[in-house]
Amino acid sequence: MTGGTSAVPGATVEVTPFAGATSHRIDEVGPGWLRKDLRPAALLEDARGAKPAFVHDPRREPAAYRNLLRPLAIGPHCHAAGDDWIVIERVPGVELWQIGDLDVWVRVAAWVARMHRQLSAAVPPCPPGAGRTRRRDRSRAGRVPLLVHDTRLFAAWRTRAAVAGAPGTVLDAHRRATARLLSLPPMLIHGELYPSNILVRTVGFRLDVWPLDWELAGLGPAVLDVAALTAGGWAQPERDAMARAYFEAAGPPAGAWTVFQGDLVAARLHLCVQWLGWAPGWTPPPEHAHGWLKEALALAEMMR
């Protein structure tokens, strides 16, 4: 085990590769604990061509756990974190995408709104589109190398999608979508809040939720996380039910529901463009497989 055993509970620890690892190496290090290695060298073979290097920083997830998630009790309990590794609790949940009950998804959407409110306390308010500020850098979030969703980052994804062959109608609509997204207040967001990165457990009426994989934790419009949560082949009424649950739980100042719906369309279009430009020649895993180009064309029409 790289990094020594001092970061793991107990004096003698048996290290076993974790079968659930999807990108970086994860080891089971004693009963109930997982050690994730964020170094580029620890990328699993299938993930080496699928991780756009320009958005990844091995320090980000450990710093997020140390400075944000552990103090706020969000996600699995973090026992220890180094510069490029973490040891977290192995929680008893299942991936949200495996849950067929829409009511659970709706409740998770409301939970995400409450999570955003918790995280927002770690970032002092700043004007929409302001990106990094001196005031934020003095906060707990200032100790995390967050991915900032600013004009430059949105343009980088658009350029990658163009190289991958995305049509001009989609790229033009993406420019309009990102202008709308940049007008929204930046918040601390997960950055990849897809159902495969959310573990849930229901115990009676109680719902436990653990967001995982904070490798792209960032500063940007919260609706990006809502778009990721509701991505996929949902019928519009089902997607609206989840979005409405988030909207109502987000609390003031939330604005009008119709405005939020427009923001969500812009965010969904951005995610389509991001996936279209994710990595040359890369095929997404089944949980992320989707007709992103078809959806992007439909959303581009809605952005006219």
Mean of pLDDT values over 74-83: 96
Predicted pLDDT at 9:
46
Asked if pLDDT for residue 253 goes beyond 70, the answer is no
Asked if pLDDT for residue 30 goes beyond 90, the answer is no
Residue with tokens 């115990």: 203
pLDDT level of residue 33 (50, 70, 90 thresholds): very high
Predicted pLDDT at 19:
63
Digit-coded pLDDT (tens) for 271-294: 999 999 987 766 666 655 678 999
Higher-confidence residue of 128 and 95: namely 95
Predicted pLDDT at 171:
98
Pick from 227, 216, 151: nearest CA to 189: 216
Helix (H, G, I), strand (E, B) or coil at 58: coil
Helix, strand, coil percentages for the chain (3-state, nearest 5): 45, 15, 40
Asked if pLDDT for residue 123 goes beyond 90, the answer is no
Mean of pLDDT values over 110-127: 84
Amino acid at 250: A
Q: What is the pTM of this model?
A: 0.88
Asked if pLDDT for residue 37 goes beyond 80, the answer is yes
Using a 10 angstrom Cβ sphere, with 0-12 exposed, 13-18 middle and 19 or more buried, the burial of residue 283 is exposed
Higher-confidence residue of 96 and 14: namely 96
Predicted pLDDT at 283:
65
Residues linked to residue 147 through DSSP beta bridges, in sequence order: 218
Instruction: Tell whether domain 94-302 is in CATH 3.90.1200.10.
Output: yes
pLDDT level of residue 132 (50, 70, 90 thresholds): very low
